[in-house]
């Protein structure tokens, strides 16, 4: 009899101490869902679960809003009476190859935006990128105009469907604008 009482007591204690594992989907009304991918501008580190709502920034076009009127070494306006022939290049910082290398925008005035449509939609990642701007010189080395670095996703974390972000070079004499659209993974 004591054996049965002890066995029954042990069973009751064992059953009552078991924790029930619940499916988090059952409590989604009280839990916060969102995007948990750091490569998405919609990333939210405060969410309780990933609800597959991530969208990603894909390039649409590039713009140089303004750049210096003259090159300190060759004074392209002064000696040639023409404006700069712009070439824009962008790559992941430290990479050997350019993700984007523009065509030449000839005779580009320093305060008129130069715009290039993205030949392909590049998915922007949560990494540092570097950009360089040159004046194309036929037959001689291109003249350096400006450069800079940026983190595209850090700049794009505003959650707009279509957006843009601006970066300037260290001197503040040149501005690059990148236009993007938020889309599902392509």
Do residues 16 and 78 share a domain? no
What's the pLDDT tens digit per position in 14-35?
555 555 455 555 555 678 999 9
Task: Kindly state whether residues 165 and 99 are assigned to the same domain.
Answer: yes
**Burial tier of 66 (Cβ tally within 10 Å: 0-12, 13-18, 19+):** middle
pLDDT(49) > 80: yes
Which pair of tokens denotes residue 82? 């023409």
The pLDDT tens digits of the residues spanning 33-45 come to 999 999 999 999 9
pTM of the predicted model as reported, rounded to 2 decimal places: 0.76
The mean per-residue pLDDT over the stretch 50-77 comes to 82
CATH of the domain at 154: 2.60.40.1110
Local confidence band at 174 (pLDDT 50, 70, 90 cut-offs): very high
In DSSP terms, 125 is beta-bridged to none
Q: Are residues 108 and 160 in the same domain?
A: yes
Q: What is the pLDDT of residue 96?
A: 96
Q: Which residue has the tokens 């409590």?
A: 27
List, in order, residues 6 or more apart from 132 with CB less than 8 Å away. Answer: 88, 89, 144, 146, 147
Domain that holds residue 101: 56-183
Domain end among 35, 50, 65: 50
pLDDT of residue 77: 45
Looking at the fold, whether 36 and 110 belong to one and the same domain comes out as no
Quote the number of domains for the chain. 2
106 and 35 co-located in one domain: no
């Amino acid at each position: 009899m004591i054996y049965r009482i002890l066995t029954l007591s042990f069973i009751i204690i064992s059953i009552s101490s078991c924790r029930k594992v619940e499916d988090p989907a059952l409590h989604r009304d009280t839990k916060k869902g969102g995007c948990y991918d750091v490569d998405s501008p919609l990333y939210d580190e405060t969410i309780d679960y990933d609800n597959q709502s991530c969208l990603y920034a894909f390039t649409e076009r590039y713009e140089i809003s303004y750049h210096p009127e003259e090159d300190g070494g060759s004074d392209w306006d002064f000696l040639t009476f023409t404006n700069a022939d712009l070439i824009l290049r962008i790559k992941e910082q430290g990479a050997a190859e350019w993700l984007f290398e523009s065509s030449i925008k000839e005779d580009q005035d320093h305060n008129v935006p130069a715009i290039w449509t993205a030949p392909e939609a590049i998915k922007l990642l949560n990494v540092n990128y570097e950009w360089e701007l040159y004046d194309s010189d036929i037959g001689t080395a291109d003249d350096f105009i400006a450069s800079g670095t940026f983190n595209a996703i850090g700049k794009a974390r505003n959650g707009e469907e279509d957006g843009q972000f601006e970066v300037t070079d260290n001197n503040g004499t040149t501005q690059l604008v990148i236009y993007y659209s938020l889309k599902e993974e392509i």
